C-alpha cells in the first residue's frame, strides 16, 4: 500500500472518545548501592498522555527515555522495586493494579517487539489460543483461523514451533496473539526496527486497520519515520519527560512547525533531512530539576532555562515544554 494511503485515514474524528487518560505519572526505581544505602532513581516524570478510540498515538523517544516503562506501567508489569505515582484512567475508571490485571490480555493487549516473547517450546496455535477452558477452545480455534486469514498466515503454522517461522511470519503471529482477545487498547512496543520497507509498511497497515476498527493504539518507537507514517499525533519523550505533543503533519518540509529544539534536532538528523550533527547525550535519572532538561544541549536557551525546568504547556492544540517557544507564542 502506498504511503499516501497510510496517511489518508478518514475514520479519525476530531475528538474521539478518550479511552486511556494518563495524568501526571511518575515512575521511580529503588536501588541499593554500596552497603545498604538506598538510592531512588526517578526515570519518568510528569507524564501526560491521552489515547482516544480509533486513534494512533506514537510515543517517540530514544532508548533510556522511559518510553517502554510507560507500556509496562499501563499493563501493570513494572518490576517490584519500582514506584508508580499519578493517575491513569481507562474508560473513565481509575486504572489501578487490580483493574490492569483484569484488563490486560482482555481489553488491553501488548504487541511485543521481538520473537523472544514467544515460548520456544510451545506450538504457535497453543500460544495464540492461550490458557482457556476446553469448552471455549473450539471457538478460539475458529477465531484463530479467521485472524490467520487476515494476516496471510497458513492454517498449518499453528502446529509449528517459533524457530520454524521466518521473521515476517513471527511478526504476524505476534499480531495474531493480540488480536484474538479483541482488545480495545493496543500497546505496540517497537514493532518495526530492523525491518525493510515492505515489512514495515505491512506492519503499519495492520496497526492502521486496528485503529480503523475503533481500537486505540499506542505505538512506541524510536524511529521517527515509522511514527510519522501512521500516527495521528506524536508524543516526544526526552529524559523521562514528555517534551512535545505535535500533529503528525508537522513532521514535514524543513521541520519549522516542530516546537521543541530536540524534536527539530531529531528531524534534521535523518539522513534525508541533512544528517545534521547535534552534540551531547540525554541526561539520565534527573534528580534535581534546577534547569531545563535540555539546557546543556540547547543552542537557543534564555536566562530562565538555566534555573528552572519548564512545564508542558498547550499551544494551538499542541504541547511543548520550552520557555523559548512559550516566549515566541507570548504565553
Partner 1 sequence: MFMAELKANNISFKYNGTNEWILKDLSISLKDSQVKGLIGESGGGKSTLCKILAGYEDYFEGEVKIDDLNTNSSKINPVQLIFQHPEKTMNPKWKMKRSLDESWEVSDDILEKFGIKENWLNRWSNELSGGELQKFSIIRALNPKTKFLIADEITTMLDAVTQVQIWKLLLSIAKKRKIGILVVSHDKELVHEVCDEIAHLNDINHV
Task: Give the integer Cα–Cα distance in Å for 301 and 291.
Answer: 11
Would you tell me the crossing angle of helices 197-212 and 167-179 to the nearest 10 degrees?
Answer: 10
266 binds partner 1 (CB under 8 A): yes
User: Which residues in 188-247 contact partner 1 (CB under 8 A)?
Assistant: 193-196, 199, 222, 224
Count other Cβ atoms within 10 Å, centred on residue 14: 5
Q: Binding segment for partner 1 among 90-98, 176-184, 211-219, 280-288 (CB under 8 A)?
A: 280-288
Q: Which residue has the cell 501493570?
A: 76
CB-nearer residue toward partner 1: 105 or 168 = 168
Residue spans of alpha helices (H) in the chain: 3-7, 67-75, 97-103, 124-129, 134-150, 167-179, 197-212, 224-230, 261-268, 323-328
CB-nearer residue toward partner 1: 25 or 224 = 224
CB-nearer residue toward partner 1: 104 or 239 = 239
CB-nearer residue toward partner 1: 47 or 109 = 47
CB-nearer residue toward partner 1: 196 or 330 = 196
Close Cβ partners of 157 (under 8 Å, ≥ 6 residues apart): 124, 148, 165, 169, 173
Name 312's bridge partners. none
Among 8, 272, 303, 330, binds partner 1 (CB under 8 A): 272
267 binds partner 1 (CB under 8 A): yes
CB-nearer residue toward partner 1: 43 or 75 = 43
Nearest approach, Cβ of 227 to partner 1 (angstroms)? Answer: 11
CB-nearer residue toward partner 1: 14 or 198 = 198
Nearest approach, Cβ of 96 to partner 1 (angstroms)? Answer: 29
3-state secondary structure of 177: helix
User: Which residues in 42-61 contact partner 1 (CB under 8 A)?
Assistant: 61
277 binds partner 1 (CB under 8 A): yes
Cβ atoms 255, 274 nearer than 8 A: no
Close Cβ partners of 50 (under 8 Å, ≥ 6 residues apart): 18, 20, 21, 22, 57
276 binds partner 1 (CB under 8 A): yes
Cβ atoms 151, 165 nearer than 8 A: no
CB-nearer residue toward partner 1: 116 or 135 = 116
Task: Give the integer Cα–Cα distance in Å for 217 and 207.
Answer: 7
36 binds partner 1 (CB under 8 A): no
Task: Give the integer Cα–Cα distance in Å for 31 and 290.
Answer: 23
Among 166, 299, 316, 317, binds partner 1 (CB under 8 A): 166
Q: Binding segment for partner 1 among 45-53, 90-98, 147-155, 281-289 (CB under 8 A)?
A: 281-289
Among 103, 173, 228, 265, binds partner 1 (CB under 8 A): 265
63 binds partner 1 (CB under 8 A): yes
Count other Cβ atoms within 10 Å, centred on residue 89: 16
115 binds partner 1 (CB under 8 A): no
Task: Give the integer Cα–Cα distance in Å for 273 and 266.
Answer: 10
Close Cβ partners of 86 (under 8 Å, ≥ 6 residues apart): 22, 23, 24, 25, 26, 47
Q: Binding segment for partner 1 among 4-12, 267-275, 298-306, 321-329 (CB under 8 A)?
A: 267-275
State the residues that interact with partner 1 by CB under 8 A: 61-64, 166-168, 193-196, 199, 222, 224, 262, 265-267, 269-272, 275-282, 284
Amino acid at each position: 500500500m502506498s504511503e499516501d494511503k497510510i496517511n489518508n485515514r478518514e475514520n479519525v474524528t476530531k475528538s474521539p472518545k478518550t479511552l486511556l487518560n494518563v495524568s501526571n505519572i511518575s515512575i521511580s526505581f529503588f536501588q541499593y548501592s554500596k552497603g545498604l544505602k538506598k538510592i531512588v532513581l526517578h526515570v519518568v516524570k510528569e507524564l501526560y498522555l491521552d489515547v482516544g478510540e480509533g486513534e494512533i498515538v506514537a510515543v517517540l523517544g530514544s532508548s533510556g527515555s522511559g518510553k517502554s516503562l510507560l507500556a509496562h506501567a499501563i499493563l501493570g508489569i513494572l518490576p517490584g522495586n519500582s514506584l508508580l505515582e499519578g493517575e491513569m484512567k481507562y474508560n473513565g475508571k481509575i486504572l489501578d493494579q487490580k483493574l490492569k490485571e483484569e484488563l490486560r490480555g482482555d481489553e488491553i493487549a501488548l504487541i511485543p517487539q521481538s520473537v523472544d516473547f514467544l515460548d520456544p517450546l510451545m506450538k504457535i496455535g497453543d500460544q495464540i489460543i492461550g490458557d482457556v477452558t476446553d469448552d471455549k477452545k473450539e471457538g478460539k480455534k475458529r477465531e484463530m483461523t479467521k485472524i490467520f486469514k487476515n494476516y496471510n498466515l497458513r492454517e498449518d503454522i499453528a502446529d509449528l514451533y517459533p524457530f520454524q517461522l521466518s521473521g515476517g511470519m513471527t511478526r504476524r503471529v505476534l499480531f495474531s496473539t493480540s488480536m484474538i482477545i479483541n482488545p480495545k487498547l493496543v500497546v505496540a512496543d517497537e514493532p518495526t526496527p530492523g525491518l525493510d520497507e515492505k515489512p514495515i509498511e505491512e506492519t503499519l497497515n495492520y496497526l492502521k486497520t486496528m485503529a480503523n476498527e475503533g481500537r486505540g493504539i499506542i505505538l512506541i518507537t524510536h524511529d521517527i519515520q515509522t511514527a510519522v507514517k501512521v500516527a495521528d499525533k506524536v508524543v516526544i519523550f526526552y529524559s523521562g519527560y514528555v517534551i512535545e505533543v505535535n500533529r503528525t503533519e508537522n513532521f514535514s518540509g524543513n521541520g519549522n512547525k516542530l516546537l521543541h529544539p530536540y524534536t527539530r534536532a531529531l528531524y534534521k538528523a535523518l539522513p534525508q533531512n541533512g544528517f545534521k550533527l547535534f552534540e551531547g547525550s540525554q541526561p539520565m535519572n534527573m534528580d534535581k530539576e534546577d534547569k531545563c532538561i535540555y539546557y546543556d544541549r540547547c543552542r537557543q536557551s534564555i536566562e530562565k532555562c538555566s534555573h528552572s525546568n519548564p512545564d508542558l504547556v498547550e499551544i494551538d492544540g499542541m504541547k511543548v515544554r520550552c520557555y523559548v517557544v512559550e516566549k515566541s507564542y507570548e504565553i
